[in-house]
């Protein structure tokens, strides 16, 4: 394991379909982005890139699974701010180190977080929502994709800014959480724009604000948190493509080339833009750029999680 390929084998990579581990349930934001990008990567690699959803423990189960796979490029994953940054402070017994146990391929995209609620919630603006949560703190509930997931940590931050501590309801991804929000089973969800935009456009949920400096291209009618009166709440998260540590550099380079080609594809760009995702910078899209970015994100999220005083076990 993890000894890598001979140079000759690296030249013939990939020799069979590639498995892409998605550490959350199908239909959620990580899965949706993965399906768009993997299809295009499959075309340029000449082998299918097959998604395997390995959900649980806020995405740490699937991430651990990748570290146990052969380091030959035929098993890769898409992780995110939760699995590869916030997890370090959240899980005292995390079975991997996001900064040293992976071979980064490239950043895939960034996603703004939106504050969303079930349609029947009696609030139509962010300030009405804040007042509603404060008045109903004991019964209000907040759905998320498991301890340490993006929907969990970003709503923890929102709840602390609002000064409330409502019940939280864990799911195996925000795909299933969103289904329950649409059905009115849960009250609110902090979720990534790619999962939210289709539902807001369909009018099945409410979106009170987008937590970024400028309005999102996919939902131009939704105000920013600054416009809506909560300027302290700014959160943009990311998806990163990773291989197991020890994957040979030529194989990583081939995967990076395929990722870049996918992100340059007009159809991929149009689909991601329609969902409100933003593309990485040229530097973030390289293996070395992603390594530095992950390290900076661990440094950024560790004090935030420690200050919130939350921990989890997996």
Closer to ligand MLT by Cβ: residue 42 or 173:
173
C-alpha span between 36 and 234 (Å, rounded):
26
Q: Which range binds ligand MLT by CB under 6 A, 115-123, 126-134, 170-178, 198-206?
A: 170-178
Q: Which stretch binds ligand MLT (CB under 6 A): 13-21, 169-177, 224-232, 303-311?
A: 169-177
- Picking from 193, 188, 195, the residue whose alpha carbon sits closest to that of residue 220 is 193
Integer Cα distance of 281 and 295 in angstroms: 16
Minimum CB distance to ligand MLT, residue 251 (Å): 26
How many beta carbons lie within 10 A of that of residue 255, not counting itself?
Answer: 26
How far is the CA of 144 from the CAs of 156, 168, 219, in angstroms?
10, 7, 22
- Check residue 211 for interaction with ligand MLT (CB under 6 A): no
Contact 118, 176 (CB under 8 A): no
Tokens of 251: 């194989």
* Closest to 196 (Cα-Cα) out of 28, 59, 80: 28
Please pick, from the candidates 14, 73, 79, 82, the single residue that binds ligand MLT as defined by CB under 6 A: 82
Total binding residues toward ligand MLT, as defined by CB under 6 A: 15
Count of other CB atoms within 10 angstroms of residue 54: 18
- Residue in the block written with tokens 């960034």: 110
Residue 131 beta carbon to ligand MLT: minimum distance, rounded to whole angstroms: 26
> Cβ of residue 52: shortest distance to ligand MLT, in angstroms?
14
Q: How far is the CB of 277 from ligand MLT (least distance, A)?
A: 12
Which of residues 4, 62, 73, 175 is near ligand MLT by CB under 6 A? 175
Written as one string, the DSSP assignment of 61-105 is HHHHHHHTS-SSSSEEEEEEHIIIIIHHHH-TT-SS-TTTSEEEE
Task: Write down the least CB distance from residue 176 to ligand MLT, Å.
Answer: 8
Nearest-approach distance from CB 149 to ligand MLT, in angstroms? 3
Binding mask 138-167 for ligand MLT (x = CB under 6 A): -------x---xxx----------------
Residue number of the CB atom closest to ligand MLT: 28
Instruction: Return the sign of the alpha-carbon dihedral for residues 24, 28, 30, 33.
Output: positive
Q: Residue 171 Cβ, how far from ligand MLT at the closest point, in Å?
A: 8
Residue 60 near ligand MLT by CB under 6 A: no
The nearest distance, CB 148 to ligand MLT, in angstroms, is 8
Q: Within positions 11 to 40, which residues make up the interface with ligand MLT, using CB under 6 A?
A: 24-25, 28-30
Name the burial class of residue 217, with classes exposed (0-12), middle (13-18) and buried (19+) by CB atoms within 10 angstroms of its CB: middle
Contacts with ligand MLT by CB under 6 A lie at 24-25, 28-30, 80, 82, 145, 149-151, 173-175, 192
């Amino acid at each position: 394991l993890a000894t890598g390929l001979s140079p000759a084998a690296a030249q013939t990579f990939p020799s069979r379909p590639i498995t892409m581990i998605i550490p959350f349930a199908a239909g959620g934001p990580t899965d949706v982005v993965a399906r768009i990008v993997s299809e295009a990567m499959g075309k340029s690699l000449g082998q299918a890139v097959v998604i395997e959803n390995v959900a649980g423990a806020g995405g740490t189960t699937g991430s651990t699974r990748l570290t146990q796979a052969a380091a030959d490029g035929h098993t890769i994953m898409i992780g995110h701010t939760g699995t590869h940054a916030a997890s370090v402070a959240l899980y005292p017994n995390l079975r991997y180190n996001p900064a040293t146990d992976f071979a980064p391929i490239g950043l895939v995209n960034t996603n703004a977080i939106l504050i969303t609620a079930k349609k029947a919630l009696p609030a139509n603006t962010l300030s009405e929502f804040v007042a509603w949560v404060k008045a109903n703190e004991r019964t209000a509930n907040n759905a998320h994709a498991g301890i340490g997931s993006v929907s969990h940590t970003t709503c923890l931050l929102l709840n602390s800014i609002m000064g409330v501590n409502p019940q939280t309801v864990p799911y195996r991804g925000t795909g299933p959480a969103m289904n329950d929000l649409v059905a009115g089973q849960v009250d609110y969800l902090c979720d990534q724009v790619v999962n939210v935009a289709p539902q807001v456009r369909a009018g099945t949920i409410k979106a009170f604000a987008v937590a970024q400096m400028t309005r999102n291209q996919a939902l131009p009618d939704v105000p920013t948190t600054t416009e809506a009166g909560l300027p302290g709440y700014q959160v943009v998260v990311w998806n990163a493509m990773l291989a197991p540590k020890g994957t040979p550099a030529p194989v990583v380079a081939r995967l990076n080339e395929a990722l870049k080609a996918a992100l340059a594809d007009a159809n991929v760009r149009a689909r991601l833009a329609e969902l409100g995702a933003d593309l990485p910078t040229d530097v973030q899209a390289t293996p070395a750029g992603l390594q530095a970015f992950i390290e900076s994100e661990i440094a950024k999220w560790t004090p935030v999680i420690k200050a919130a005083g939350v921990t989890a076990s997996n």
